[in-house]
Structure 1
Amino acid sequence: MRIAIIGAYGLIGSYVSARLVADGHGVIGIGRDIEAARRRLPALDWKRADLADCGVEDWTALLAGADAVINCAGALQDSPRDDLRAVHVDGVGRLIQACGIAGVRRIVHISAAGVSPERTTAFNDTKLEAERLLAHAATDWIILRPGLVFAPAAYGGTALLRGLAGLPGVSLVAHGESLVQVVGAEDLALAVARCLTDEAPTRVSLDLVHEEALSLVDLVTRLRGWLGLPPAPVLRLPSYLARATAAASDALAWLGWRSPMRTAALEQLRMGVRGRAEDAARLDWKPRSFDALLAAAPSGVQERWFARAYFAKPAILLCLFAFWFLSGVIGLTVGFRDAVGVLTTSGIKAAPATAAVVVGSLVDMTLALMLAYRPTTGRALQAMLLVTAAYLVGGAVVRPDLWLDPMGPLLKSVPAGFLALAALTTLDER
């Protein structure tokens, strides 16, 4: 079969793509940012499209010759990068129309376990609207509602759980008693493959979860053991602190950061992730338990590095922002005269020395602001490395004695540079 997968480079989409390619299908990978995806998954025929704004005619052209469409695309919360209604409702509506025109035989739509009219969040409301649109589609459809998806690759909520499990000396959990049912990413990919067979049921909604319901405390504790870390006491984060953290993450979303600790994610975890385990039998398929998933993918040093660095990464970025921004502010205010004096005592005239201090301070502050804005963070870190190198070389030429200064104005720039390098190497989100 020739199958189009929307969101083919996401956590779920990448496992589904790999499974279908291994089964011998021709796979069209569709996403809005496909350059890195093309390198990661070269077996797919990649096409660029955004579910949020791609029109019916565009979809019809993209889906020409496709036998089935699998929609793995979705968003968690409104932000400058994501519009829930545009992705979950309007985009799905246009996709359904295009599938009918292009002669697509089947649509497999990935929704979420626990979606129901009783959960009045924007995420749940828009997911339900998409399911209602599919219910009236002329094309055969299957809606799959996976539970919390656990994968060997870490992304989103499961990456956050690994980070919590990797905290030194303590396991920090919010809404620790909430119950969650899990499904493995590879198991989910197998279920999607079963949906493409002639024997698969159609025009049905199926929950994909293992029967065991685990508390978030239990999940984090088992993950900690899987990482090979010694047991640690569980510290339950008070709800008001959890909400404050989520509010801060929501604010950062307007700078382009998509944290799994945003309000929508916290609310989903608070309500729990539950589904009907008996639905698996409709696909002649059975998901593995969480313990079986962990046993099938033993952790190595890379998993421990990731878990331990998960919260170190934002701390490093915050430290770099403060270092560069405050350096610029101090250079223009209380430290201005001393900075100019350092240059003039080396023989540089007052005017160019003053200009150098002003320009250097403004550069520091600009790089800090670029660092805070996610689309320019990578370029800011690269520029920080170059500016640090230039500062060290220039300082060695103009005032080599500063290398021996007990306050270490030049020496302190060396670890700051390596901190920027560490941030750059861990910047990727997926």
Structure 2
Amino acid sequence: MNILILGATGFIGSIVAARLVADGHAVTGLGRSPARARLKQPAINWRQADLSRMTKPEDWDDLLQGQHVVVNCAGALQDGLSDDLAATQADAMLALYSAAKRSRPLIVQISARTAGAAGDLPFLATKRRADEALAASGLPHLILRPALVLGRNAHGGSSLLRALAACPLALPLVHAESPVETLCVDDVADAVSRAVAGDLRGDLVLAADEALTLADLVRLHRQWLGLPPARVISLAPWLTRPVTWLADVAGLLGWRSPLRSTAMTVMSEGISSAKTGNGLAATPAAATLAANPSGVQDLWFARLYLLKAPILVGLSLFWLLSGLIPLLAPVQASTHFLPFMPEAAATALTIITCLVDIALGAAVLVRPLAKRALLGMLAVSLAYLAGGTLLEPALWLDPLGPLVKVLPSLLLTLAALAILDER
């Protein structure tokens, strides 16, 4: 069969795509930035598209041509610079259903549990709107509602679990006793495979038949990482509000932190559902982890995950302050240039370099600009070192170390570039 997968570059979508290719289907993968996916999964026909801009039925006509199945693995947690929930999770899906009425492919929607106290959040409200429209469309469909999905890789909430598990000495948790249901990402892929084969239709919950708390799950991940047991410290929710607020601000700048308010609200009531017998197997968390033994790369990822934000913020502050402080006294700051140019030119050059520093320090905080800002920091730092070495090599021996201090900044910038990618 010809199968179109939305969000095929994501954590769930990439595994579903690989399974359907292994089943012998012709898979077309849709993603906003599929260039790297083409290298990793060359058997898939990759198409670039942004669902938030595909809100009219005619936007789907070309993509749907010849497709027998559409699997929607796309989704976003919260509105921000990189995500528009209403457009991506609701409007685009309604446009898809309208366009699909002509060829009537099977629609498989990877959704979520949309009831409960968190049901009015935009993340779940837009999912529910798309689910209800699909159920009423008359199209052949399957709506899958997986619990927290675990696998060999990690993204979002599963990344946060690994990071919390790697905390030194103790495990600081909010909502430590909240129930959390899980399943293996391969179980999702298996359910989609069965739906394509014609075995499954309707609205189904996917979750392992076990009762875990958040604390239990973090302990399991700590054991999986090969770290000794550590005490769980239960934190009051109000203690995390500053972190959640900062994560929401970061979301407005395009960063997709699992510590945003939507995730915390969902976790406050737990991830559980009233399961009914549906004949679908779901792998318990311990078995999922045991089937994928961790390596040192997993330990590095877990330890670096929560350091990523402080590294980027630290770099931003370093560059902002290095630009702002000289502007308080630009004439005095330009003295190093006076042996080589007139005073007016030295002052102008000082102001220009300060403005460059400020621009780079601000740009690195904006997700779509972060990589270019980091590359700019590397280029400007090397230019500063080269210029200082050629024009005034004595600066290397200056007690305040104006050139020496650039070296750790370079290393921190390289580290930020190394951990910048989210998937």
Once the two structures are superposed, residues 295-319 of structure 1 have per-residue CA deviations (whole angstroms, 9 ceiling, x without a partner) of: 1011001000000111111111111
**8 Å contact from structure 2 (residues 80, 253) kept in 1:** no
Over 3 Å counting, the alpha-carbon distance change for 1:364 and 1:144 in structure 2 is: same
Once the two structures are superposed, residues 17-66 of structure 1 have per-residue CA deviations (whole angstroms, 9 ceiling, x without a partner) of: 01001111100111233223222222111223333332212312211111
Moved over 4 A (4+): none
1:325-340 alignment runs, 5 A limit:
325-334=320-329, 336-340=330-334
1:76-225 alignment runs, 5 A limit:
76-104=77-105, 106-112=106-112, 114-116=113-115, 119-198=119-198, 200-202=199-201, 204-225=202-223
Q: What residue ranges of structure 1 are gaps of 5+ in the alignment?
A: none
Q: What residue ranges of structure 2 are gaps of 5+ in the alignment?
A: none
Letter in structure 1 aligned against 2:125: D
1:3-402 alignment runs, 5 A limit:
3-54=3-54, 55-104=56-105, 106-112=106-112, 114-116=113-115, 119-198=119-198, 200-202=199-201, 204-281=202-279, 285-334=280-329, 336-344=330-338, 346-402=339-395
Work out the percentage of aligned pairs sharing the same amino acid: 44
Shift of 1:117: 5.8
Letter in structure 2 aligned against 1:27: V
Report the TM-score when normalising by structure 1: 0.94
Distance in 2 (CA, whole Å) between partners of 1:321 and 1:155 is: 25
Letter in structure 1 aligned against 2:90: V
**8 Å contact from structure 1 (residues 117, 125) kept in 2:** no
Letter in structure 2 aligned against 1:133: A
CA RMSD in angstroms comes to 1.6
**8 Å contact from structure 1 (residues 142, 195) kept in 2:** yes
Distance in 2 (CA, whole Å) between partners of 1:373 and 1:129 is: 31
Once the two structures are superposed, residues 205-250 of structure 1 have per-residue CA deviations (whole angstroms, 9 ceiling, x without a partner) of: 1100001121111111111111112222222232112222212111
Q: Which moved more, 1:243-252 or 1:1-10?
A: 243-252
Letter in structure 1 aligned against 2:145: R
Shift of 1:421: 0.8
Distance in 1 (CA, whole Å) between partners of 2:256 and 2:177 is: 25
Q: Are 1:406 and 2:407 matched, yes or no?
A: no
Distance in 2 (CA, whole Å) between partners of 1:120 and 1:351 is: 60
**8 Å contact from structure 1 (residues 207, 279) kept in 2:** no
Q: Which moved more, 1:85-94 or 1:118-127?
A: 118-127
Distance in 1 (CA, whole Å) between partners of 2:235 and 2:331 is: 47
Distance in 2 (CA, whole Å) between partners of 1:411 and 1:79 is: 38
Specify the alignment match of 1:424 in structure 2: 417
Distance in 2 (CA, whole Å) between partners of 1:402 and 1:61 is: 62
Once the two structures are superposed, residues 104-156 of structure 1 have per-residue CA deviations (whole angstroms, 9 ceiling, x without a partner) of: 1x1111111x3216533222222222221111122211110000011211211
